[in-house]
C-alpha cells in the first residue's frame, strides 16, 4: 500500500456553525486539533526489523504525511473534514534510512487519536464561548444548534439535488451563487442570527454538564477498561478518560503524565500495555479456584 488515509471531521453542528454560520475561527481550531491528533498518532509509528535475523518491530515515532482540508460533503453540504494522507514510509533512526511503515499500532490507536481531536477541538470551542453537549456515544455537539438544522444539512446526494432544484426554481438568482450563499438561503433569519450568536451565550446559558476532574476521568476509564481486560493498551485508558471528560481544562500531555504516575504494572517488552495489581490478583484467584 502506498499510503493510509486518516480522516478527522467534527460533529455536524460544528460544521454548520463554522460554514453555514460563517465562524471562520472554527476552521483554525479544527486545524490545530487535527495536528494535535496526528502528533499523538505519529508516536505509534514503527518499522519492521529484518536485519541480523530479527523479526520484530522498532518504534520510530515519525511519519511523512500531507493534510488536505475540505469544507463540503460529496452532496455539497457543509462538512468540515481533513484527510491526513500518511505515506507508507518512516525513518528508522537506528539503521539511518527510510523504510516501510509498520502501521499496526497506529491502526490500534485510531480511536484514541480521534478522541484527542474531539477533546482539543471541544476545549477550544468552550474557551471561545460555545457550550458543549458531550454525548455518551462518543462525540459531542454545540449547544443551541437544533437537530432539525443538522438534519437539513445532512442530506444525501439525491435529496440535495431535489432541494437545490426546488430552491433554484423559487429563487433563480441563486443559480450563479457560491456555496455560502446557498447554505445561507436554507436558513431563516432567526436561525441565521441564532447560529452567529452562539459563541456569546456562555454567560446566559447554564452549563448542563457537571465538570469532570482529571483524576475522576482516569478512575472511570480504569473501571471500564479493566472490567473486561486484564491487560490493556495505555492509550485505551487515555481514550476513555477523554470521552468521559471531553473539553475539560486539561491537556492530553497532562493526562498522559497523570497515568504515568499511576500504580500500573508495566512490562518493558510491551511498553504500551499496562495492568493493575488487583486485576492480576483476581485472575490468580480464578485460576486457583479452577485448579
Are 183 and 227 members of one domain? no
Are 55 and 171 members of one domain? yes
Lateral strand order in the sheet of 3-8? 3-8, 78-87, 65-72
Are 199 and 243 members of one domain? no
Are 288 and 173 members of one domain? no
Q: Which residue in this structure is represented by grid cell 504500551?
A: 272
Range with the poorest average pLDDT among 48-52, 239-243, 264-268: 48-52
Domain boundary among 209, 237, 266: 209
Are 108 and 234 members of one domain? no
Are 177 and 236 members of one domain? no
Are 34 and 157 members of one domain? yes
Range with the poorest average pLDDT among 10-19, 78-87, 202-211, 213-222: 202-211
The CA distance from 279 to 289, in Å, is: 15
The CA distance from 291 to 288, in Å, is: 5
The answer to whether 12 and 183 have CB atoms below 8 angstroms apart is no
State the pLDDT at residue 127. Answer: 93
Structural domain range at position 144:
3-209
DSSP characters over 131-197? -EEE-TTS-EEETT--HHHHHHT---HHHHHHHHHHHHHH-GGGGG--HHHHHHHTS-HHHHHHHHH
pLDDT over 60 at 277, yes or no: yes
Are 113 and 178 members of one domain? yes
Are 192 and 98 members of one domain? yes
Three cell numbers written together for 8? 478527522
Nearest CA to 72 out of 142, 163, 157 is that of 157
pLDDT band at 210 (very low <50, low <70, confident <90, very high): low
144 phi/psi in degrees, rounded to 5: 105, -10
Domain boundary among 177, 193, 209: 209
pLDDT band at 203 (very low <50, low <70, confident <90, very high): very low
Which CATH number belongs to the domain containing residue 249 in this structure? Answer: 1.10.10
- State pTM to two decimals: 0.88
Domain boundary among 209, 240, 274: 209
Binning the chain into helix, strand and coil, the percentages to the nearest 5 are: 50, 20, 30
Amino acid at each position: 500500500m502506498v499510503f493510509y488515509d486518516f480522516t478527522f471531521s467534527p460533529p455536524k453542528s460544528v460544521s454548520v456553525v463554522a460554514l453555514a454560520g460563517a465562524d471562520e475561527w472554527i476552521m483554525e481550531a479544527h486545524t490545530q486539533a487535527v495536528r494535535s491528533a496526528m502528533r499523538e498518532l505519529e508516536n505509534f509509528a514503527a518499522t519492521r526489523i529484518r536485519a541480523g535475523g530479527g523479526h520484530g518491530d522498532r518504534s520510530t515515532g515519525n511519519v511523512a504525511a500531507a493534510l488536505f482540508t475540505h469544507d463540503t460533503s460529496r452532496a455539497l453540504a457543509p462538512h468540515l473534514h481533513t484527510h491526513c494522507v500518511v505515506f507508507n514510509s518512516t525513518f528508522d533512526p537506528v539503521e539511518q534510512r527510510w523504510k516501510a511503515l509498520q502501521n499496526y499500532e497506529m491502526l490500534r490507536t485510531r480511536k484514541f487519536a480521534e478522541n484527542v481531536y474531539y477533546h482539543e477541538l471541544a476545549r477550544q470551542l468552550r474557551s471561545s464561548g460555545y457550550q458543549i453537549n458531550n454525548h455518551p456515544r462518543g462525540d459531542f455537539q454545540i449547544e443551541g444548534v437544533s437537530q432539525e438544522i443538522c438534519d437539513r444539512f445532512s442530506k444525501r446526494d439525491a435529496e440535495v439535488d431535489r432541494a437545490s432544484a426546488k430552491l433554484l426554481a423559487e429563487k433563480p438568482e441563486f443559480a450563479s451563487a457560491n456555496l455560502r450563499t446557498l447554505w445561507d438561503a436554507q436558513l431563516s433569519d432567526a436561525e441565521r442570527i441564532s447560529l452567529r450568536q452562539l459563541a456569546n451565550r456562555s454567560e446566559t446559558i447554564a452549563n448542563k454538564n457537571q465538570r469532570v476532574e482529571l483524576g475522576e476521568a482516569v478512575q472511570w476509564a480504569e473501571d471500564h477498561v479493566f472490567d473486561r481486560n486484564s491487560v490493556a493498551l495505555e492509550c485505551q485508558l487515555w481514550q476513555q478518560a477523554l470521552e468521559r471528560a471531553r473539553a475539560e481544562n486539561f491537556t492530553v500531555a497532562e493526562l498522559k503524565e497523570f497515568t504515568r504516575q499511576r500504580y500500573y504494572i508495566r512490562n518493558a517488552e510491551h511498553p504500551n500495555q499496562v495492568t493493575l495489581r488487583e486485576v492480576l490478583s483476581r485472575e490468580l484467584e480464578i485460576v486457583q479456584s479452577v485448579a
